[in-house]
A = this chain, B = another copy of it.
Amino acid sequence: MSVTAINTRNQFKGSVVSINRGPVVSEVEIETPAGIISAVITTSSIDRLKLRIGDSALALFKATEVLIAKIGDQAA
């Protein structure tokens, strides 16, 4: 079995630059060309993935999870 494709278009490749381990969940920061993406995943997942600083990783999120804020040009 191999995963050939995941449905979401929101996939950003980068490398793991920090892991803040907690007892249940941990925060992982992935440096992408777009800037840092922060993810909170279970600490047991980090151990299962053997995720370490410097690893290449993909940050994925569904389009339904994204909010949009409008940025104003309130100059005049």
Q: How far is the CB of A70 from chain B (nearest CB, A)?
A: 5
Per assembly, the copies of the chain total: 6
Is chain A's binding surface mostly helix, strand, loop or mixed?
strand
**In the complex, A13 Cα to B66 Cα: how many Å?**
13
B-side contacts of A55, CB under 8 Å: 70-71
Q: How far is the CB of A5 from chain B (nearest CB, A)?
A: 5
Interface residues of A (CB under 8 A from B): 1-10, 12-13, 20-28, 30, 32-42, 44-46, 48-51, 55-74
- Beyond the given A3-B58, A24-B26, A58-B69, could you list 19 further A-B residue pairs with CB under 8 A, ordered by the A residue number? A4-B69, A4-B72, A5-B69, A6-B6, A6-B67, A7-B48, A9-B42, A23-B23, A37-B66, A39-B66, A39-B67, A40-B63, A41-B66, A49-B68, A55-B70, A59-B67, A61-B65, A61-B66, A62-B64
